[in-house]
Structure 1
């Protein structure tokens, strides 16, 4: 396993865990890099294995903050350390270092528990949320967005201009910037895109509409974490919001 792969595994493990300061630790790990320090010194514990130290490197002015999480971080690093034929993990250290020059790229495909995962991503948002879905009638997701609005996030929504959305049990227009999309042709068409962009980094896309019924359907989503995918969906959102009627 490479240093990049191990760093990604560490971040995913923290994200999936129940550490009480998970959000603060994830924010720090996103600006950390990992370094394997492999030695020629035998451990005298596992046969023919040498000592390997893992250094968690972070910019100096964030070291004190990261050290607050050291006990949990060290325990987790030992837990996820992959067995191998050459090295044994011997120690974990926090060291000063520069920002990582790699982008943490990940993709997760989900077929179950989709709404809960969307809620988790909404709660992790820090700056902005852009949503484009055919139908939005789920009051649970609506309430999660309201909480983020109260924190100061910019939230905008593009929706198909149809009775189903207008007759929802809540009014999105009362709380958010909503863009009603009309698709016009010889036939009855709808704006059927389903995606969400969070902080211009996380993209959620697939078959899942933000409705109560969708949680009981057979659906899927992909959660992509990288700037290039998020930018592509953000560009599409800008095209949707700036065109009143789409002709097909």
Structure 2
């Protein structure tokens, strides 16, 4: 197992596990690197030497990594596979070289069919700068409240939604708090998008409307951490926003 495989295995183990710090761990690992630190120090096994795993973390995330150290150490020990005559000795948390921090993280794609509302809320909570929502029906007050909390944190939030009688529950609240574009229903055409862009680098999309009845339906919700892929959604969002903004 090489360094890239090791880190990838850590990410996959966290992704499909139930660790309460899943989101924080995934964000940390996706921006980090792994080095194998082989030593000449004898280990407990006969004719084996100690090997450390160095987790190279972006400098701004070092404090968070220390906070998650227990989870990271357990995860590293679980993933470790002895290469010949070496034995796992422990985890070192070290700074990632600054000149390498601008390398984009490896693309990640996933899809879920259950507990979609929780996935949406998790995505909203991971945002740091911007949240752009294009959802035909948006009447779920829990998701709305999550957006209000992120607005209080200083994030830029834009919403595109359908201007129809069945979608009026929260529209007035949206317009008081966010940048909002309402798309009118036309004779043979209506807004039917369901996607959300986070920080212009992560997108959630699928069949799930952000409505009160959606949790009772059979739905699909996909996520992607893939800048080229996300750019296509951002381009579509901007076109919808600009083309409909002047109406209101």
1:203 Cα deviation from its structure 2 partner = 0.3
For the structure 1 residues 125 and 235, does the alpha-carbon distance in structure 2 shift closer, same or farther, using more than 3 Å as the test? same
Aligned to 2:235: 235
1:106 aligns with 2:103: no
Deviations 1:11-41 (A, max 9, x none): 4655752249x74x66654542111245788
| CA deviation string 1:62-96 (max 9, x = no partner) | 65664454344222211233x46745433322334
Cα offsets for 1:35-57 (capped at 9, x unmatched):
124578885638x9765431112
Count residues with an aligned counterpart.
239
Pairing 1:167-246 to 2, within 5 Å after superposition: 167-168=169-170, 171-182=173-184, 184=186, 187-244=187-244
Which secondary structure does the structure 2 equivalent of 1:132 belong to?
strand
Rounded Cα–Cα distance in structure 1 between residues aligned with 2:212 and 2:75: 37
Give yes or no for the alignment of 1:3 onto 2:3: yes
Consecutive unaligned residues in structure 1, runs of 5 or more: none
Number of the residue aligned with 2:164: 162
Change (3 A) 1:178 1:216: same
Instruction: Give 1:76's aligned residue.
Output: 75
Partner residue in 2 for 1:123: 125
1:156 Cα deviation after fit: 0.4
Matches within 5 A, 1:21-170: 23=24, 28-37=28-37, 45=45, 51-58=50-57, 66-81=65-80, 83=81, 86=84, 88-98=87-97, 99-100=100-101, 101-168=103-170
- TM-score, scaled to structure 1: 0.80
Structure 1 position 127, deviation (Å) = 0.8
Where in structure 2 are there 5+ consecutive unaligned residues? none
Partner Cα distance (1:169, 1:238) in 2: 20
- 1:128-147 deviation digits (Å, cap 9, x = unpaired): 10000111111111111111
Aligned residues: CA RMSD: 3.2
The offset of 1:180, in angstroms, is 1.2
Whether the aligned pair in 2 keeps the contact of 1:139 and 1:170 (CA below 8 Å) is: no
Aligned partners of 1:8 and 1:104 also within 8 Å: no
- Seen in structure 2, the aligned counterparts of structure 1 residues 225 and 143 have a Cα distance that, compared at 3 Å, is same
* Partner Cα distance (1:136, 1:203) in 2: 17
Superposed displacement of residue 151, structure 1: 1.0
Question: Does the CA contact (< 8 Å) of 2:164 and 2:185 recur in 1?
Answer: no
**1:183/1:189 contact within 8 Å kept:** yes
* Displacement of 1:113: 0.5
CA contact 1:49–1:85 (8 Å) conserved in 2: no
TM-score (norm 2): 0.80
CA contact 2:82–2:88 (8 Å) conserved in 1: no
